[in-house]
């Protein structure tokens, strides 16, 4: 793929960056998972939602089907769902600092989410501010149910980006567009995530940041996927700065992550997430 074609098809390549940071949204940029938060409070509740996550990790159900069940259990009008989330979801306290640094250093930030794009855009606008529009967001969509308005009771449903995939949104599809670039054009690719919807992305980037205490770490160890651990975005910022300034490499960072896991430092309290 030539440079001009790459820019046309891949917005994050517009400034010819040497690094791109891909990230999950829910529970990674934010402290809470917005979809879990809705399901626990407006849908069928925490216990059934958690069991669905566990069943997904054990391959008893696909993420797509588990997640559709979660969203179908929420009957609240869509505009009210968004307001509910705007009132309750908080940003990781260090993300804004990381994002400012990324903008200053020509490191595009691309959100790859198993959630719904309208919710993510609304939350980013509130939590990050005007510069959030510089972030590309790739997620699922939402539509009105037949004969209904999206903003009436039981009026909306999720529309998956990749309905044929067990992930609903297979994040590896977007990542491979970048990883398949010629070596002379391909940027170093980072990814941050925490749970089930990140499984398809885990092996596709140069350095995976897996959130401390969450199930993505268990998956990476089971599948022998290199990773490094973060608790907050201050950890990510410190590691990325070291790599950009050539004080360490992505390979060394991943090795440190696995050693931290073996020592027990990476785990903490396990939380089942998407």
Q: Which helix (H) or strand (E) holds 114?
A: strand 109-116
- CA–chain centroid gap for 20, Å, is 14
- Which tokens hold the place of 52? 């669905």
Helix (H, G, I), strand (E, B), or coil: what is residue 159? Answer: strand
What is the phi-psi region of residue 223: left when phi exceeds 0, alpha when psi lies from -120 to 50, beta otherwise? Answer: alpha
Between CA 174 and CA 62 the distance in angstroms is: 20
Among the listed residues 34, 12, 229, 14, the one whose alpha carbon sits nearest the alpha carbon of residue 124: 34
Contact criterion met (CB below 8 Å) for 97 and 197: no
User: Hey, which residues does 94 pair with through a beta bridge?
Assistant: none
Which one from 26, 33, 36, 215 is the annotated catalytic residue? 26
Between CA 26 and CA 34 the distance in angstroms is: 6
What is the Cβ-side half-sphere exposure of residue 180, based on CA atoms within 13 angstroms?
10
Which one from 24, 33, 40, 194 is the annotated catalytic residue? 24
| 92 among known catalytic residues | no
| 24 among known catalytic residues | yes
- Which tokens hold the place of 219? 């998956």
Q: Which residues contact 270 (CB under 8 A, 6 or more apart)?
A: 213, 214, 215, 218
Q: Is 16 exposed, middle or buried (0-12, 13-18, 19+ CB in 10 A)?
A: exposed
Angle at 171 between CA 227 and CA 193, to 5 degrees: 35
- Looking at the annotation, which residues are catalytic? 24, 26
């Amino acid at each position: 793929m030539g440079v001009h074609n790459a820019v046309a098809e891949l917005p994050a390549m517009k400034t010819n960056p040497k690094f791109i940071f891909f990230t999950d949204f829910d529970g990674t940029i934010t402290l809470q998972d917005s979809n879990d938060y809705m399901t626990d409070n407006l849908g069928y509740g925490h216990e059934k939602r958690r069991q669905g996550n566990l069943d997904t990790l054990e391959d008893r159900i696909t993420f797509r089907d588990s997640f559709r069940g979660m969203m179908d259990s929420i009957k609240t009008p869509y505009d009210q769902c968004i307001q509910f989330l705007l009132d309750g979801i908080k940003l990781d306290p260090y993300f804004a600092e990381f994002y400012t640094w990324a903008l200053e250093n020509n490191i595009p930030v691309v959100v790859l989410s198993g959630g719904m794009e309208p919710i993510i855009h609304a939350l980013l606008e509130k939590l990050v501010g005007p510069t959030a529009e510089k972030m590309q967001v790739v997620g699922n969509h939402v539509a009105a149910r037949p004969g209904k308005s999206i903003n009436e009771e039981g009026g909306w449903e999720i529309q998956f980006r990749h309905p044929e995939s067990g992930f609903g949104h297979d994040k590896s599809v977007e990542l491979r567009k970048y990883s398949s670039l010629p070596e002379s054009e391909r940027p170093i690719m980072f990814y941050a995530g925490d749970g089930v919807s990140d499984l398809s992305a885990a092996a596709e980037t140069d350095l995976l940041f897996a959130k401390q205490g969450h199930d993505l770490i268990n998956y990476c160890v089971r599948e022998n996927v290199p990773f490094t651990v973060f608790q907050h975005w201050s950890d990510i910022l410190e590691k990325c700065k070291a790599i950009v300034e050539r004080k360490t490499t992505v390979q060394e960072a991943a090795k440190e992550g696995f050693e931290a896991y073996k020592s027990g430092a990476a785990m903490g309290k396990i939380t089942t997430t998407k």
